[in-house]
C-alpha cells in the first residue's frame, strides 16, 4: 500500500498539476487526442509487482520472441510480472512521461532520440543501478555502451545491437548475369544500371535507390571519409567536402533515372519489411540496410534468396569497405517510472544472459550485445557473418548523442531530400545543415 | 438594494446548473490558454520547470527560423487557394441541389457524406487514391493519356494534393449555403423576372446579395479552419514520422507547431507559435469583417 500512496502523492503534487495543465495549453488549438498512458494500470496485487514495458519490436516473429523471454522471466521471478505493449509513437511516449504516467520501462528500438530525451529529462540515468547491481560492463560490446551514453551518463542498457550492410536479391543478380556483389562503389553503380528495368519509359525495377528504405546519408558520408560532428557533438562538420561528395553521389542516381520517376516508383512500394516492400517484392535489387532483413525475408517471402556483403567504398578507398553505423535497442527507464528498481532487475536479467542473447539474436537476426555467447546456427550463416565482421571492424561508426539528436535527424533528411530533388546543390544543402545544426547546438547550452 | 433570499437561492441553483460549463471553461479553456501565454515567454520542455526568456521565442521565430516562414507560406497558400475553391464548389452545388428535382435529397446526402466520415479515415483513403504509382486517380489519368503527377511524393504537387483532400469536404459549407438559398424571398425573383432578368442576372442581383451574409459566414469559418488545418495533413505524411514531407512542402503552421512541441519538446516556442497563430486569426477575421461592410447585405439591417 505504501507504494500506492506514494504514487498518489506524486500524482497530486501541485507543481505537477500546474505543469501538466500548462502543457495542455500549448495544444489547445490542435485536434489531438492523447490516450491515457498504460503505465498506470499497475495494481498492487498481493506481493506481485506488475511491470509494463513499452517496446518497438516489429513483425510477428519479433514480438513472439520478446513474449517468449518475458514469459521465462515471469516464471522465474514470482514477485514481478512483466507485460509488454507495442508503442511506436514517440509523441505518445513523450506525453505519457511528461504527463506523469510513464510505463515502468521501455525498449526504444534505436538510440536515435536518446540524447535529446536524456537532455530533456525524459529518461533516468542508470549509472547507479548499473553499478549497484554489479553488471559486468566489460562483457558487452563497447559500441553498445557508447550508443546509450549522453553527457557522461548511461541512459540505457544495450540489448540486441544492429548495423547495416549491402543486402541484395541473389535471383535478380543471377538473371542480370552478375556473379558477385560489387567491390567498389563504381561497380555498384554499373551493377545497379544492369539490374534496372525500364519499360515504355516507366521504371519497373531499380538496381539501387540511395535513400531506400531510409535515409543513409550519414553512412555514405563515412564511406567517403567524412563525418558529422567533432568535439563530442559540440561542433557540426556537415559541410565537409567528403560529405558533399557522398551527397553528390546520391544525386547522381536521381539525375540518371529521373527525380520524379524514382520518387513515384518508390511511393508505390508497400510497407517496409512486408512482402510488398521495395526489396522483398523485387522492385529494388540492392539496399543498404540491416541484418534483420534476413529474418524478415524468411518470414515473408518463400524462396527469396538474400545475399549480404560489405557495402563497397569508392575505388581506391577499399579500407572503407563495409562502412556502417552500429546501434542498439536501448532498454531504458523513463522518468517517473512507478517501479524503477524492479524494471532494472528485468533489464539486467534480459541483457546479461549470454544464452538468451544468442537465442534472441538468432530468432530476430540481430547482433548479440554481449561479446561471448554460445555459437548458434546463426553464427555460421555467411550473410550474418558479414554484419558481425563489420560490427567488429574499424568502420563501425556512431553519431554522438547530443541534445539535438532528433532535430538533427529531421534536418539531415531535409538536406538530403533538397539535394536529390534538385532544389539545392549538395554543397549548399550541407552548408545550410551545418549552420542550422551549429545554431541549435548553441541554443542548448 | 439588497438581494433577497429567494434570489440568492435562485442564483445558487443557476450557478449549480451552469457549473459544468463554468468549471470546464476555467479549468480547461481559460487556464491553459493563459498558461500557454506565460510559456510563450519561457523555455520549457514539459519536464523541467520553465525558464523565463522574455521575447526570445518570438525573436527566433521572426529572425532566425526559416522553417517557420516556410510553414507560414504553406498555410497562406492553403487558405488563399483552398477557401475560395471550397466556397465556389459549395455555392455551385448548393444552387444545383436547391432545384426541385427527383432524388435531390439523395444527392445532397451523398455530397454531405465526406463530412460525416472521420478525417483520419478520409486522409488514409486519399493517400491511397493519390498514390502516384498505383493509385486510383493516376490510373484514371493514365487511361486518358494525361500526365500523372507524383502528388504527395512530389514537392510541387503535394500542396495541390492536400487541397484536393481538404476541398473534398465542402459538403459542410454546401449545407449552410443550401439553407441560405431557402431563405431568399421568392418575391424578389418574381419581381426580377417581371423586369426581364434572366437566370444569370437573377443570380448576380438577387441570389448573391441575399446570400452574402451566409457566404460571409462560411468564408470566416473556413479561413479560421484552414489556418488551423491539421488532421489530414498529419495523417497524409505518415502520422508524424515525416511531417511536412516532401521537403516541407506540406508543413502547415499547425504541423510545425506540433513538431516543435512534441518532437523537439520546445513547448515555449510552440506556445509562442500558437499565440502568433491566434493573432493572425484575429487579424484576418477583423479584416474580413471590415471588408465585409462593403459587400455583405443584411436584410432589415442598416444600409
Please give the average pLDDT of every successive group of 10 residues along chain A, which has 445 residues: 34 34 38 36 64 88 90 94 91 88 95 92 96 96 95 96 97 97 97 96 95 93 97 95 98 94 91 94 97 94 95 95 96 96 96 95 95 94 96 93 89 93 95 94 84
Is A55:A119 a contact under the CB 8 Å cutoff?
no
Return the HEC string of chain A: CHHHHHHHHHHHCHHHHHHHHHHHHHCCCCCCCCCCCHHHHCCCECCEEEEEEEECCCCHHHHHHHHHHHHHHHHHCCCEEEEEEECCCHHHHHHHHHCCCCCCEEECCCCCCHHHHHHCCCECCCHHHHHHCCCCHHHECHHHHHHCEECCEECCECCCEEEEEEEEEHHHHHHCCCCCCCCCHHHHHHHHHHHCEEECCEEEEEEECCCCCCCCHHHHHHHCCCCCEECCCCEECCCCHHHHHHHHHHHHHHHHHCHHHHHHHHHCCCCCCCCCCCCCCCCEEEEEEECHHHHHHHHHCCCCCEEEECCCCCCCCHHHCCCEEEEECCEECECCCCCHHHHHHHHHHHHHCHHHHHHHHHHHCCECCECCCCCCHHHHCHHHHHHHHHHHCCCEECCCCCCCHHHHHHHHHHHHHHHHCCCCCHHHHHHHHHHHHHHHHHHCC
Of A19, A21, A91, the CB nearest to B262: A91
**Quick one: pLDDT band at residue B301, thresholds 50, 70, 90?**
low
| Nearest chain A residue (CA) to B243 | A410
Segment 136-155 of chain B within 8 Å of chain A by CB? 148, 150, 152-155
Assigned CATH class of A164-326+400-443: alpha beta
Residue A22 is predicted with a pLDDT of: 41
Mean pLDDT of chain B: 90
Q: Using 50, 70 and 90 to split pLDDT, how confident is the model at B294? A: confident
Return the CATH superfamily for domain A2-13+37-160+329-352.
Periplasmic binding protein-like II (3.40.190.10)
What is the ipTM, given to two decimal places? 0.78
Q: What is the mean pLDDT of residues B73-98?
A: 95
Q: Where are the domains of chain A?
A: 2-13+37-160+329-352, 164-326+400-443
pLDDT score, position B293: 85
B71 contacts on A by Cβ (under 8 Å): none
Q: What is the pLDDT of residue B268?
A: 96
Task: Provide the pLDDT for residue A94.
Answer: 87
Mean pLDDT of B37-44: 96
Task: For B115-168, write each residue's pLDDT tens digit.
Answer: 899 989 999 999 999 998 889 999 999 899 888 888 988 888 999 999 999 999
Which tens digits make up the pLDDT trace of B239-259?
556 787 788 899 999 999 999
Cβ atoms within 10 Å of B124's Cβ, excluding its own? 15
Q: Which residues of A touch B231 (CB under 8 A)?
A: 31
Q: Is the pLDDT of residue B266 over 50?
A: yes
Nearest to B247 among A22, A26, A414 (CB): A414
The pLDDT of residue A8 is: 32
**Identical topology for domains A2-13+37-160+329-352 and A164-326+400-443:** yes
Q: Is the pLDDT of residue B198 over 80?
A: yes
Which CATH architecture best describes the domain B59-292? Orthogonal Bundle (1.10)
Nearest to A29 among B133, B150, B228 (CB): B228
- What is the Cα–Cα distance from A173 to A167, expressed in whole angstroms? 12
Amino acid at each position: 500500500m505504501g507504494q500506492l500512496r506514494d504514487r498518489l502523492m506524486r500524482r497530486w503534487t501541485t507543481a505537477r498539476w500546474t505543469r501538466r495543465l500548462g502543457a495542455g495549453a500549448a495544444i489547445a488549438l490542435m485536434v489531438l487526442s492523447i490516450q491515457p498512458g498504460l503505465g498506470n494500470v499497475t495494481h498492487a496485487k498481493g506481493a506481485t509487482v506488475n511491470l509494463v514495458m513499452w517496446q518497438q519490436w516489429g513483425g510477428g516473429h519479433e514480438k513472439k520472441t520478446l513474449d517468449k523471454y518475458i514469459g521465462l522471466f515471469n516464471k522465474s521471478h514470482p514477485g514481478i510480472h512483466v507485460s509488454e505493449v507495442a508503442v511506436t509513437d514517440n509523441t505518445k511516449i513523450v506525453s505519457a512521461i511528461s504527463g506523469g504516467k510513464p510505463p515502468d520501462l521501455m525498449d526504444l528500438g534505436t538510440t536515435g532520440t536518446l540524447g535529446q530525451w536524456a537532455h530533456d529529462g525524459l529518461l533516468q540515468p542508470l549509472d547507479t543501478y548499473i553499478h549497484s547491481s554489479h553488471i559486468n560492463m566489460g562483457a558487452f560490446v563497447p559500441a553498445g555502451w557508447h550508443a546509450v551514453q549522453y553527457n557522461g551518463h548511461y541512459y540505457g542498457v544495450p540489448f540486441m545491437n544492429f548495423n547495416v550492410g549491402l543486402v541484395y536479391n541473389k535471383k535478380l543478380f543471377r538473371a542480370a548475369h552478375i556473379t558477385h556483389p560489387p567491390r567498389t562503389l563504381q561497380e555498384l553503380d554499373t551493377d545497379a544500371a544492369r539490374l534496372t528495368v525500364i519499360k515504355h519509359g516507366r521504371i519497373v525495377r531499380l538496381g539501387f535507390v540511395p535513400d531506400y528504405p531510409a535515409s543513409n546519408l550519414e553512412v555514405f558520408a563515412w564511406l567517403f571519409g567524412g563525418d558529422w560532428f567533432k568535439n563530442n557533438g559540440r561542433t557540426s562538420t556537415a559541410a565537409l567536402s567528403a560529405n558533399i561528395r557522398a551527397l553528390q553521389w546520391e544525386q547522381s542516381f536521381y539525375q540518371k533515372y529521373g527525380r520524379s520517376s524514382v520518387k513515384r516508383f518508390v511511393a508505390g512500394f508497400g510497407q517496409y519489411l512486408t512482402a510488398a516492400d521495395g526489396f522483398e517484392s523485387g522492385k529494388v535489387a540492392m539496399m543498404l540496410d540491416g541484418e534483420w532483413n534476413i529474418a524478415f525475408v524468411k518470414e515473408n517471402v518463400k524462396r527469396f534468396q538474400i545475399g549480404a556483403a560489405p557495402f563497397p567504398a569508392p575505388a581506391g578507398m577499399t579500407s572503407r569497405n563495409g562502412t556502417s553505423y552500429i546501434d542498439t535497442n536501448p532498454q531504458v527507464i523513463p522518468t517517473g517510472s512507478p517501479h524503477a528498481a524492479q524494471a532494472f532487475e528485468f533489464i539486467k536479467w534480459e541483457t546479461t544472459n549470454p544464452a538468451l542473447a544468442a537465442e534472441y539474436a538468432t530468432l530476430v537476426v540481430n547482433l548479440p550485445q554481449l561479446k561471448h555467447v554460445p555459437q548458434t546456427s546463426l553464427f555460421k550463416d555467411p550473410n550474418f557473418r558479414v554484419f558481425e565482421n563489420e560490427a567488429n571492424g574499424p568502420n563501425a561508426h556512431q553519431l554522438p548523442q547530443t541534445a539535438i539528436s532528433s532535430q538533427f535527424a529531421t534536418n539531415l533528411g531535409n538536406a538530403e531530400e533538397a539535394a536529390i530533388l534538385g532544389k539545392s546543390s549538395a554543397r549548399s544543402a550541407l552548408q545550410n545543415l551545418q549552420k542550422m545544426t551549429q545554431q541549435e547546438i548553441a541554443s542548448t547550452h | 438594494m439588497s438581494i433577497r433570499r429567494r434570489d440568492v437561492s435562485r442564483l445558487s441553483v443557476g450557478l449549480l446548473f451552469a457549473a459544468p460549463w463554468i468549471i470546464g471553461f476555467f479549468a480547461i479553456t481559460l487556464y491553459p490558454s493563459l498558461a500557454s501565454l506565460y510559456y510563450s515567454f519561457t523555455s520549457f520542455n514539459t519536464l523541467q520547470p520553465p525558464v523565463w526568456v522574455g521575447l526570445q521565442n518570438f525573436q527566433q521565430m521572426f529572425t532566425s527560423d526559416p522553417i517557420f516562414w516556410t510553414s507560414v507560406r504553406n498555410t497562406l497558400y492553403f487558405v488563399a487557394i483552398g477557401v475560395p475553391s471550397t466556397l465556389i464548389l459549395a455555392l455551385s452545388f448548393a444552387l444545383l441541389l436547391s432545384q426541385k428535382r427527383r432524388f435531390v435529397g439523395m444527392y445532397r446526402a451523398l455530397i454531405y457524406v465526406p463530412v460525416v466520415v472521420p478525417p483520419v479515415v478520409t486522409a488514409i483513403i486519399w493517400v491511397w487514391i493519390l498514390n502516384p504509382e498505383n493509385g486510383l486517380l493516376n490510373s484514371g489519368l493514365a487511361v486518358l493519356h494525361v500526365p500523372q503527377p507524383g502528388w504527395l511524393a512530389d514537392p510541387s504537387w503535394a500542396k495541390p494534393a492536400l487541397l484536393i483532400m481538404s476541398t473534398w469536404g465542402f459538403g459542410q459549407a454546401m449545407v449552410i449555403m443550401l439553407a441560405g438559398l431557402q431563405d431568399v424571398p421568392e418575391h424578389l425573383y418574381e419581381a426580377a423576372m417581371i423586369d426581364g432578368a434572366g437566370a444569370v442576372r437573377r443570380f448576380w442581383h438577387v441570389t448573391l446579395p441575399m446570400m452574402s451574409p451566409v457566404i460571409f459566414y462560411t468564408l470566416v469559418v473556413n479561413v479560421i479552419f484552414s489556418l488551423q488545418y491539421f488532421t489530414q495533413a498529419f495523417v497524409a505524411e505518415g502520422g508524424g514520422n515525416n511531417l511536412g514531407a516532401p521537403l516541407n512542402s506540406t508543413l502547415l503552421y499547425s504541423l510545425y507547431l506540433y513538431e516543435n512541441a512534441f518532437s523537439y519538446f520546445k513547448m515555449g516556442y510552440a506556445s509562442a507559435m500558437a499565440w502568433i497563430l491566434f493573432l493572425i486569426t484575429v487579424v484576418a477575421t477583423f479584416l474580413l469583417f471590415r471588408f465585409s461592410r462593403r459587400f455583405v447585405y443584411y436584410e432589415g439591417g442598416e444600409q
